[in-house]
């Protein structure tokens, strides 16, 4: 897990100049909206930074009533930035988290995000069994047919997270969240909430929204969250897509079933690409 820097929040961004062997960054300003452009109040905007010697995430300030935010990097030693990503969450309503890289070389050290961070709404399952007994597997199905197969509630550490499960298919065309998609792009993507790791992973059944032929194979991808690891503890960088397994279209051509051992490690963003 990254070190947490308290940052400056909305207290104002200190413009103390500096020199380093990477980009000198003093902070970020921007706006968070829904897909229609409406500002989202109360979203938590977290800046995660890789410096030449460390990796840390600032404590996230919340957006104001218009969806605007300001983040200042309080620790001068953390302002020498090799790479940075914005993680945006909204705990007060059902939206999938957003992860987007920041462009290098900000003007005068301040990232002014011209394009808003867009958060996508997700919907609860059509039926969510009670959490008890926690050690009993159950399949959670969403309205479009997406399903978490044989999920054991105790695989999700916090009891409230299980009750907050939600998902939706989202067209990410043109989104910064596809900046690190695999070559050739993804054929379909789903946002999941509440952006939490699943101990030992969970199989996913996908609706065959791209009408692949029965028996067709796909590669399955997950987007890296704050602490996403593939099997073997291989880390996935925040905002980057990594293949975690494969799937096969069923005989009826209606669903894509995860192949044995292809388990989703994080309830974040998931998608597939035809082989």
What does the pLDDT look like over 55-91, one tens digit per residue? 889 999 999 999 999 999 988 888 888 889 999 999 8
Average pLDDT over residues 175-183: 94
Tell me, what's the pLDDT at 17? 52
The domain that contains 30 carries what CATH number?
Answer: 2.60.40.1120
- Whether residue 3 is predicted with pLDDT greater than 50 in this model: the reply is no
Domain count, the chain: 2
Cα separation, 80 vs 120, in Å, equals 32
- Cis amide linkage into residue 248, ω under 30° from 0: no
Residue 164 pLDDT > 80, yes or no?
Answer: yes
Strand partners, 244: none
Is the per-residue pLDDT at 5 higher than 70? no
**Residue 70 is part of which domain span?**
3-118
Rounded mean pLDDT of 162-189? 95
Query: How far, in whole angstroms, is CA 96 from its chain's centroid?
Result: 7
CB-based burial of residue 173 (10 Å sphere; 0-12 exposed, 13-18 middle, 19+ buried)? exposed
pLDDT at 19: 58
Same domain, 214 and 148: yes
Residues 158 and 198 in one domain: yes
Whether residue 2 is predicted with pLDDT greater than 60 in this model: the reply is no
| Phi (first) and psi of residue 78, to 5 degrees | -95, 5
With cut-offs at 50, 70 and 90, classify the pLDDT of residue 205: very high
What is the C-alpha separation between 69 and 62, in angstroms, rounded? 7
Q: Are residues 175 and 107 in the same domain?
A: no
- 215, pLDDT greater than 60: yes
Domain final position from 118, 153, 184 = 118
The per-residue pLDDT of the chain, averaged, comes to 90
Determine the Cα–Cα distance for residues 91 and 194; give it in Å rounded to an integer.
8
Does the structure show a pLDDT above 80 at 262?
yes
For residues 99 and 85, is the Cβ–Cβ distance under 8 A? yes
Q: Of residues 53 and 99, which shows the higher confidence score?
A: 99
With pLDDT > 90 as the criterion, what percentage of the chain qualifies? 71
**Does residue 80 sit in helix, strand or coil?**
strand
Burial class, 158, CB count within 10 angstroms (exposed 0-12 / middle 13-18 / buried 19+): exposed
What is the pTM (predicted TM-score) of this model? Answer: 0.90
What DSSP letter does each residue of 15-56 carry, written as one string? ------SSEE--EEEEEEE-TTS-B-TT-EEEEEEE-SS-EE
């Amino acid at each position: 897990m990254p070190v947490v820097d308290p940052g400056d929040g909305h207290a104002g961004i200190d413009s103390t100049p500096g020199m380093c062997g990477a980009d000198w960054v003093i902070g970020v300003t921007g706006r968070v909206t829904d897909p229609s452009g409406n500002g989202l109040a109360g979203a938590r905007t977290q800046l995660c930074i890789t410096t030449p010697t460390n990796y840390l995430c600032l404590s996230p300030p919340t957006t104001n009533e218009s969806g605007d935010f300001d983040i200042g990097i309080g620790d001068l030693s953390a302002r020498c930035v090799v790479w940075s990503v914005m993680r945006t969450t909204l705990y007060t309503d059902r939206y999938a988290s957003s992860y987007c890289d920041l462009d290098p070389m900000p003007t005068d050290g301040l990232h002014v995000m011209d394009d808003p961070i867009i958060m996508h709404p997700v919907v609860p399952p059509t039926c969510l069994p009670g959490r008890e007994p926690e050690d009993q597997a159950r399949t959670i199905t969403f309205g479009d047919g997406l399903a978490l197969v044989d999920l054991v509630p105790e695989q999700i550490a916090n009891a409230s997270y299980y009750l907050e499960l939600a998902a939706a298919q989202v067209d990410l065309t043109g989104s910064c969240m596809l900046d690190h998609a695999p070559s050739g792009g993804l054929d379909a993507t789903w946002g999941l909430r509440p952006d939490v790791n699943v101990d030992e992973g969970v199989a996913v059944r996908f609706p065959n929204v791209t009408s692949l032929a029965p028996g067709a194979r796909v590669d399955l991808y997950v987007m890296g969250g704050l602490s996403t690891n593939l099997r073997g503890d291989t880390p996935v960088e925040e905002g980057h897509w990594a293949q975690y397994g494969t799937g096969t279209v069923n005989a009826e051509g209606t669903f894509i079933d995860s192949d044995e051992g292809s388990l989703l490690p994080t309830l974040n963003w998931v998608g597939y690409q035809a082989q």
